[in-house]
Structure 1
Amino acid sequence: MEQAVRGRGLIPDNCQLKFVNFEIQENHITHETVGLSSHQLVVRRGRAFQVTLIFQQPIDWSMYNFDLEVQLGDLTERFPIHFSSQCLSSLHWSARVFPENVRSHSVSVHVCSPVLSAVASYHLLLHIQRQYHIFNYELGTFVLLCNPWCKDDPVSMPLEVQLQEYIQSDYGLVYVGTDQSVRHKPWAFGQYEPGVLEACLQLLQVSPQHQNDRQNDYLRRADPVYLCRVLCAMVNCNDDLGVLAGKWQGNYTDGVCPTDWTGSAEILLQWLSSNCSPVRYGQCWVFACVLCTVLRVLGIPSRVVTVFNAAHDVNANLIIEEYYSSKGEKFNISKDSVWNFHVWVECWMRREDLGADFNGWQVVDPTPQEKSAGIYCCGPCPVSAVQRRCLHCPFDASFILASVDADVVRLIIRDGLVVGRSVDTEWVGQLIYTKSIGSNKPENLTHMYKTRTKTPSPRTYSSSGVFGRISVPPSGIVSGLKVSLEVEKTPSMGDSICLCVTISNHSRHARFLTERLNAQLKHYNSCPHESIWKDHRQLEIQPGQVLTLHHSIPASLSTSLMAHDDIVNAAVVIKDMNTKERVLAAQEFNICSHDISIEVEGGDRIQMKTNYMAHVSYTNHCSTVISGAVLCLEGFGLLQSKHETRQALLQPGESIQTSVSIMASSPGTKLLQGTFSHSHSPGVVSRSFHKISVHN
């Protein structure tokens, strides 16, 4: 793409530059940046790119000195154009012209940036000098990104399949639910959507680091550690003009419910078009996916990671305290918490600041939970540092370690007194998942964070909780009595929920027991609400006996009270009637919803700017009539707005269905999202996604 250039000074005809061609198409192929921009040059540091200069008439380069100059704010560097066939250096700015091309109207100049250049948009100038005369041209701008294809770049990645997955792929999966029933939701990272690159660069420009000291910020942008910290803080808006405002409870009528987002592009473009006003609302997976998009765009390999049963350890003692009533009801009185799942980002880099032992994947968490060095960001912290329990490793190693490997102390409270206590060393960090390379299957990363199998320590835990300082025994066995609680099978919406309580008597005498079982609804990151179901009974267990007790929560509860994202917290308290000792076991699980069918005529590979029909349907698999049924379809880049279909009554076995015309305006991976809800549900009952590949 040729463009006219602007020169300064009285320029003679024999060195007038008429046009410059940044050879965008060819350079983008060479630099693996195809699709990031259609109108400006985007290249990677440490690799040469080509610029064609077209003069008014042939020019004798031997009569002049030719220099290029790159400008970045107030920082400039000027360097000569050499006539040489030798390779360019990636240690400093350099340029060359092949000797055979120096007597032509059109000359191709090869320019190479240092491998540790700042990530930014640069201005490029040309200076032509002969004796005491200097002629200056403004050639235009280009964007310089990190280069994971270059072995000397700190973000270098060894395998092409890794680069395809962690840099070039615009589609991913986020794992949610519970460790007992893992679900996944797709996400369109959207780095090839028009305007996304500009939004990512704007994040750096409006950051507090840039606004406070632009020159220092530009100098430090060569370091991926610095880039990650700045961008991590900028994805949330707690300290700055960041992208997303977080909200975890209440209604979302003044914004978008976090579960409704399906991709990063819509969020980033809304932020950019609103003059950097925060987009409402995000939760952990939304923050993480947007950060993953930004890092991939700027050339830092990254992936989205889910930790199941992730702890938030407020007092940094690696102990999470949970409080239950003697009936098994969980109380909301602890400052600590365990989320059923928490999503963060891993990015890949060499840690020149820490040494080779800490190279590789680094945790970066943009969800605003705790401040790090005064701002709401977390990381980059080496995963290897978490595995080795290097608590003082920068950045935020102790907080991340607690997220995956804290101990849970469960306390039974009655009349303000602790009447039972146990320690669970396995609950936190049960599973750590990410999407596998080239596959929709999960890759288990748990062993990367936790190598040892934790066993109960012989010591007791001393904790200063809300009930004062208490000593907690290390095991869940009370005087030879052991209790466990399991879900017999993963329950589906409309089915009864079957719970199994197992009691083992390891003592030498019979035990007379009271069993109290309780179930509460909760969101993935919150304490349970009021009880939805209770049960109790009295029983006797003989020495050495193992009792298995079966309980059933009615199907009507899973239909009318539970939404798609709800989780059930179930707990059982067994009380010895003679000794008054109590032992507790708890379990959390989610209810599987029924799928929404989404089919696209002609298959899932479509052409741009062509109409296709999408057929959507949901079948009532429950045994009862559903009233006020609503089937909704939406898709950024495919539909202009939501499409809703309503039906007053949906009989058992009956389907609600609709057909919608879709058309894609840009290439890449797009997602159609279908949701189903009804008048008796507190939220969306079912949510399904359909991936579509769009091609020119």
Structure 2
Amino acid sequence: MAHMGDLRIQNVNLQQSENQENHRTQGFSSPKALVVRRGAPFKIIMHLNGRPFNPKTDNLMVKVMLGHLYLRLPVTISKDEPVSRWKAYFKLEDLNLKSPSIFISSPANAPVGTYRLLLYVFSQSSQRVFAVGNMILLCNPWYPEDTVFVPFEDQREEHVRSDSGLLYMGSPMNLVSRPWSFDQYEPGVLEACLNLLQVSPQHTRNRRKDYLRRSNPIYISRVVSAMINCEDDRGVLKGNWSGDYKQGTHPSAWTGSGDILTQWARSGFSPVKYGQCWVFAAVMCTVMRVLGIPCRIVTNFNSAHDSNANLVIEEFYSETGKKLPNSRDSIWNFHVWVECWMTRQDLGSGMDGWQVLDPTPQERSGGVFCCGPAPVKAIRDRCVDLVYDIPFVYAEVNADVHTIIMRQGQVVGYSVDSERVGSHICTKAVGFPRPQNITADYKYVKSPNSSLRSRNSVVSEDSTLSRSSSQGVSVSLSLDKSPVAGEPILFTVTVTNREPVAKVIKENLDAQAKEYNHSPSDTFWETNQVIRLAPLEVTSLHHQIPAAVCEGLMGDDLVNLAVVLEDEASQERVLASEEFNITSPQLSIQIADEDSIVPYKEHSAFVSFTNPFPEDVSGVLTVTGSGLIQGKVHFRMSSLRPRGRVAQRVVFLPKLTGTKMLQASLTLTKRNTVIRGFKMVYVNPL
């Protein structure tokens, strides 16, 4: 009787492509593991040689192991009940006894991580065990019971599956879109993100407790926030704001997360040098998307770092308009963090939704350099007694700026601005390569357009202090148009005599270069003049800073421009200032037959550049594209004369369908400048 023999398993097929398509994890190619999402069943097929499976006498059990934790799941005949726990079952209607399919499902709160699957076979005369393989379990934003569930498909595409995006830098009136490749489907990135959880202090201290707590995205996000910087652990990135990057890579040179995460993993988890806020945020965004937690990158313009938590930032100027490095507090022209989407069962349903997490090491939270998750709703409503780190983020978007004019150690002018900090907060729009203004999510915005209005005068009309200090004259400063490399900077100072007497006024102008997170350096342009005002006169003074003076100020540098007016009779002084960036030239990317791009077929892109500078330039062009180009392609660009144009053909071979990003950067040899460009590419399904 043949059927009485042992049940012999030839192999167990993990059905990788079918399962990963059903679980929306296609693109993750882990050679040794099946990648699935929690809360949804997946199917494995057992191929037998010898006799068929006999449901009456043969029993199967699946053992699911996470580290030393394990569960034994007897394989039962399915009854369609809601699954709140782990389960393994057959479906009677399609049970093939020669190669039975086993379905395994996990609960919506199963811990994230790499599991081992074993299959035990019990027949009348024997017991056998078969190692099925590894399964990587991720959060599931598609499943309503998961705490990271997002109800809209376009948002899940954007915040979980999209492997490229834009980060915003510069200044509110002159946004710079920095392309970034999240690289979650590139080889080694998935493994590096899972390793990040394994080398965290929480895991090394108590593995069992860490595995169990990994069911909760609040816990995971705090671990990741701390592990992106290396201040307390074997984290991914070393921050550096010194200006000296010889020991590593300049933060502005990175174009994607893949190189950073794979370099970190290959080096045995020693920190990659160097990161600044947008690099920390972008790498965190990659890790969260890999783990299945929806994530987006947010830029806060004029972000306060309020070191003594009194919601006041003081800025000091000389009587001639030079900004002084006197303050312990600081305002960064922009600061970049991430938001992750999750329910906050610890705080109640009013706090569900987007949560601020900031992996840039600024202040400690619970003894560790991490920040968040802080509900955006709690920041808007100033619920500063809730966890985590809400007062710190609240100050970043709401502090008041007190501007003080000093002369020989004495205060000679004073004003308050309550609109400048957090004046514009934005993220990439869902499905489009443009910014979306989310300022109103963080604060109650006075009028619908106030966040877009260019703030000219530090002497705001509604400030009682400024009204008393500038009884006689008021001043505002505005740029005539967005400054562009190679052109002069044109601006207008508007002076109002508020009294019915004539005045003699001295105008002092001062321009200093600055980095986004530092006090300005030395003055590179200044001028002054004496003007006469008739009673109650309003006059506009037009100025320009010559292009030659701003030569080196492109790309990541900004300009602090200030005007101080001094009333010669009363010695009263008022100030207005503006900080701005100068728009760099862009690379243009054109694609042949743009509408007919399909996987595994070569296509051509043309990257072109026109030299706007007054001298010849040369450099290296680098082109990358996750899912389009393997690694990076480099081209040397020999000398290009002023106004000269060059075009380079680049061949790419798409591997994945959907929206991808081709990005190019040209590093100029003599000038410390990188010129960038990007193009969104839609790869049609075959």
Report the AA paired with residue 654 of structure 1.
G
Structure 1 residues 574 and 223 mapped into 2: Cα distance closer, same or farther (>3 Å)?
Answer: same
Structure 1 residues 283-326: Cα deviation after superposition (integer angstroms, max 9, x where no partner): 11111111111111111111111111111111111111111111
Q: Which residue of 2 aligns with 1:556?
A: 548
The alpha carbon displacement at 1:12 in A equals 8.2
Q: Which residue of 1 aligns with 2:309?
A: 316
Of 624, 633, 644, 1:654 maps to 644
Of 493, 500, 511, 1:501 maps to 493
Query: Quick one: distance in 1 between partners of 2:268 and 2:467?
Result: 55
Query: Quick one: distance in 1 between partners of 2:238 and 2:363?
Result: 15
Report the AA paired with residue 105 of structure 2.
C
Structure 1 residues 505 and 298 mapped into 2: Cα distance closer, same or farther (>3 Å)?
Answer: same
Structure 1 residues 660 and 273 mapped into 2: Cα distance closer, same or farther (>3 Å)?
Answer: farther
The alpha carbon displacement at 1:52 in A equals 1.1
Query: Quick one: distance in 2 between partners of 1:380 and 1:62?
Result: 52
1:537 aligns with 2:545: no
Query: Quick one: distance in 2 between partners of 1:275 and 1:665?
Result: 31
The alpha carbon displacement at 1:613 in A equals 5.2
Q: Which residue of 1 aligns with 2:677?
A: 688
Of 243, 249, 253, 1:260 maps to 253
The 5-angstrom pairing of residues 179-194 of structure 1 reads: 179-194=172-187
1:423 aligns with 2:416: yes
Q: Which residue of 2 aligns with 1:300?
A: 293
Query: Quick one: distance in 2 between partners of 1:163 and 1:684?
Result: 36
Query: Quick one: distance in 2 between partners of 1:511 and 1:413?
Result: 22
Q: Which residue of 2 aligns with 1:463?
A: none
* Range that drifts further, 125-134 or 668-677: 125-134
Structure 1 residues 127-151: Cα deviation after superposition (integer angstroms, max 9, x where no partner): 2346796433322110111011111
Structure 1 residues 48 and 610 mapped into 2: Cα distance closer, same or farther (>3 Å)?
Answer: closer
Q: Which residue of 2 aligns with 1:483?
A: 475
Structure 1 residues 353-395: Cα deviation after superposition (integer angstroms, max 9, x where no partner): 0001100000011111111111111111000000001112211
1:632 aligns with 2:621: yes
Of 169, 175, 184, 2:168 maps to 175
Q: Which residue of 2 aligns with 1:673?
A: 664
Tell me if structure 2 keeps the 8 A contact 1:618–1:631: no
Q: Which residue of 2 aligns with 1:621?
A: 612
Report the AA paired with residue 571 of structure 1.
A
Q: Which residue of 1 aligns with 2:334?
A: 341
Report the AA paired with residue 535 of structure 1.
T
Structure 1 residues 496-527: Cα deviation after superposition (integer angstroms, max 9, x where no partner): 11121112222343332211010011111211
Tell me if structure 1 keeps the 8 A contact 2:39–2:106: yes
Report the AA paired with residue 553 of structure 1.
I
The alpha carbon displacement at 1:211 in A equals 0.7
Query: Quick one: distance in 2 between partners of 1:311 and 1:225?
Result: 25
* Range that drifts further, 172-181 or 606-615: 606-615
Q: Which residue of 2 aligns with 1:577?
A: 568
Query: What's the secondary structure of 1:106's corresponding residue?
Result: coil
Report the AA paired with residue 67 of structure 1.
M
Q: Which residue of 1 aligns with 2:456?
A: none
**Structure 1 gaps, min length 5:** 1-10, 455-470
The 5-angstrom pairing of residues 280-291 of structure 1 reads: 280-291=273-284
Of 436, 444, 452, 1:451 maps to 444
Query: What's the secondary structure of 2:6's corresponding residue?
Result: helix
Structure 1 residues 639 and 264 mapped into 2: Cα distance closer, same or farther (>3 Å)?
Answer: closer
Tell me if structure 1 keeps the 8 A contact 2:428–2:435: yes
Tell me if structure 1 keeps the 8 A contact 2:611–2:617: no
1:82 aligns with 2:71: no
Tell me if structure 1 keeps the 8 A contact 2:66–2:116: yes
The alpha carbon displacement at 1:25 in A equals 1.1
The alpha carbon displacement at 1:424 in A equals 0.8
Q: Which residue of 1 aligns with 2:120?
A: 127
Of 460, 465, 469, 1:473 maps to 465
Q: Which residue of 2 aligns with 1:19?
A: 11
Tell me if structure 1 keeps the 8 A contact 2:413–2:469: no
Structure 1 residues 549 and 100 mapped into 2: Cα distance closer, same or farther (>3 Å)?
Answer: closer
* Range that drifts further, 34-43 or 490-499: 34-43
Of 56, 59, 68, 1:65 maps to 59
* Range that drifts further, 430-439 or 272-281: 272-281
Tell me if structure 2 keeps the 8 A contact 1:83–1:98: yes
1:510 aligns with 2:502: yes
Structure 1 residues 111 and 453 mapped into 2: Cα distance closer, same or farther (>3 Å)?
Answer: same
Tell me if structure 2 keeps the 8 A contact 1:423–1:475: no
Tell me if structure 2 keeps the 8 A contact 1:627–1:650: yes
Tell me if structure 1 keeps the 8 A contact 2:587–2:664: no
Structure 1 residues 411 and 472 mapped into 2: Cα distance closer, same or farther (>3 Å)?
Answer: farther
Query: Quick one: distance in 2 between partners of 1:266 and 1:592?
Result: 27
* Range that drifts further, 309-318 or 479-488: 479-488
The alpha carbon displacement at 1:635 in A equals 2.2
Query: Quick one: distance in 2 between partners of 1:676 and 1:260?
Result: 9
Q: Which residue of 1 aligns with 2:459?
A: none
The alpha carbon displacement at 1:593 in A equals 2.0
The alpha carbon displacement at 1:690 in A equals 3.6
The alpha carbon displacement at 1:604 in A equals 8.4
The alpha carbon displacement at 1:640 in A equals 4.3
Query: What's the secondary structure of 1:61's corresponding residue?
Result: coil
* Range that drifts further, 132-141 or 405-414: 132-141
Structure 1 residues 53 and 678 mapped into 2: Cα distance closer, same or farther (>3 Å)?
Answer: closer
Query: Quick one: distance in 1 between partners of 2:466 and 2:164?
Result: 44
Structure 1 residues 619-665: Cα deviation after superposition (integer angstroms, max 9, x where no partner): 2335x3x1453353332645645322131x623x333x253544448
Q: Which residue of 2 aligns with 1:353?
A: 346
Report the AA paired with residue 503 of structure 1.
V
Report the AA paired with residue 320 of structure 2.
K
Tell me if structure 2 keeps the 8 A contact 1:597–1:617: yes
1:164 aligns with 2:134: no
Query: Quick one: distance in 1 between partners of 2:630 and 2:133?
Result: 34
Query: Quick one: distance in 2 between partners of 1:278 and 1:501?
Result: 48
Query: Quick one: distance in 1 between partners of 2:669 and 2:533?
Result: 46
* Range that drifts further, 63-72 or 418-427: 63-72
Query: What's the secondary structure of 2:484's corresponding residue?
Result: coil
Tell me if structure 1 keeps the 8 A contact 2:120–2:129: yes
- What count of residue pairs does the alignment treat as equivalent? 661
Tell me if structure 1 keeps the 8 A contact 2:6–2:126: no
* Range that drifts further, 216-225 or 306-315: 306-315
Structure 1 residues 427 and 640 mapped into 2: Cα distance closer, same or farther (>3 Å)?
Answer: closer
Report the AA paired with residue 178 of structure 1.
S
Structure 1 residues 324 and 115 mapped into 2: Cα distance closer, same or farther (>3 Å)?
Answer: same
Query: Quick one: distance in 2 between partners of 1:597 and 1:140?
Result: 47
The 5-angstrom pairing of residues 333-412 of structure 1 reads: 333-412=326-405
Please report the RMSD computed on the Cα atoms of aligned residues, expressed in angstroms. 2.4
The alpha carbon displacement at 1:427 in A equals 0.6
Structure 1 residues 378 and 64 mapped into 2: Cα distance closer, same or farther (>3 Å)?
Answer: same
Report the AA paired with residue 406 of structure 1.
A
Tell me if structure 1 keeps the 8 A contact 2:53–2:100: no
1:599 aligns with 2:590: yes
Q: Which residue of 2 aligns with 1:148?
A: 141
Query: Quick one: distance in 1 between partners of 2:468 and 2:102?
Result: 73
Tell me if structure 1 keeps the 8 A contact 2:602–2:654: no
Tell me if structure 2 keeps the 8 A contact 1:126–1:139: yes
